[in-house]
Amino acid sequence: MKKLFTLTIALMAMVSIAKATPSTQIWIPSTDIQKYKTGHLNIDAFIADSDSADGARKAPMSVIGPTFGLLSFEKVQAEAGFDLINQGAGLDRYPLYFHGKIGTPENSLCKDSPALAAGMYNAGTRKDSTNQNILYAIAAKTLPVAGRLSAGYYTGNKNVLVDETGSPADNGLLLSWDRTMTEISDKLWLAADYQGGQSALGAFSFGAAWAFAPNTSVIFGYDIYNNPSVAGRNTFTVQVDINFP
């Protein structure tokens, strides 16, 4: 964690202007897409909130990787990138995962049309081990006062996304709410999201973000897993997001 903290501070000092493993809420993908010719660096840490029943503590998981905007069109946008994921387990021999997304923003198809996005993430490089290959589609609409509501669905590799019995648990709902709390500060953002399913991916997460600079924000959140038998103990998460031209 000392190394992660040092790296975070160093990157924040090095990067200069700017706002998401694909662009996400706290846990699930969002309809946000990185703008053309811009980049984004995410540095995420997930830390178990307590020891397991046998007295052992799940190793912290860290995720670091860039995302780049690919299309210059106003109504159709796309992004792609990769992550290096460290889980403190044998899978760390294959830490590279890819992701990509295409979508359209709110009001671009017609008046009051929702934002739409579809993509893939956690495309690992080890067959039936890290290649979760999660495909998803999601829609979002910003409502007056209430904030933005999102809903979608995902499916992945049934040989990797399994429950504690080894049975496939490779699909489920994606739901979220988020809002910038302008009544308090334009720098404060709140969110809650949910990913269905009984694999290690299923979770309810909530948290808050603060924009410390025009191009840098930090999310402080908490993750409650649907199936602790697979995912382990709930986790605190700290996520640093940095944009650059």
More confident residue, 133 or 6: 133
Q: What is the pLDDT of residue 90?
A: 74
Tally of structural domains, the chain: 1
Q: What is the pLDDT of residue 22?
A: 79
Span 181-201, pLDDT tens digits: 999 999 999 999 999 999 999
In whole angstroms, what is the distance from residue 22 CA to residue 8 CA? 19
Burial of 110 from C-beta contacts in 10 A (0-12 / 13-18 / 19+): exposed
Sign for the CA dihedral angle at 4, 10, 12, 15 comes to: negative
Span 31-55, pLDDT tens digits: 999 999 999 999 999 999 887 666 5
State which residues form the domain around 162: 2-244
Residue 20 has pLDDT above 50, yes or no: no
User: Region 210-236: what's the mean pLDDT?
Assistant: 94
More confident residue, 245 or 113: 113
| pLDDT above 70: percentage of residues in the chain | 88
Q: What is the pLDDT of residue 54?
A: 61
Q: What is the pLDDT of residue 132?
A: 94
Span 128-150, pLDDT tens digits: 889 999 999 999 999 999 999 99
Q: Among 20, 32, 3, 2, which Cα is nearest to 244's?
A: 20
User: Region 160-177: what's the mean pLDDT?
Assistant: 96
In whole angstroms, what is the distance from residue 140 CA to residue 238 CA? 24
**Predicted TM-score of the model (pTM):** 0.87
Span 61-105, pLDDT tens digits: 899 999 999 999 999 999 999 999 998 777 788 999 999 999 999
Residue 245 has pLDDT above 70, yes or no: yes
Contact 110, 139 (CB under 8 A): no
H or E element in which residue 7 lies:
helix 2-14
Q: How many CB atoms lie within 10 A of CB 175?
A: 19
Contact 97, 130 (CB under 8 A): yes
Provide the CATH number for the domain around residue 26: 2.40.160.40
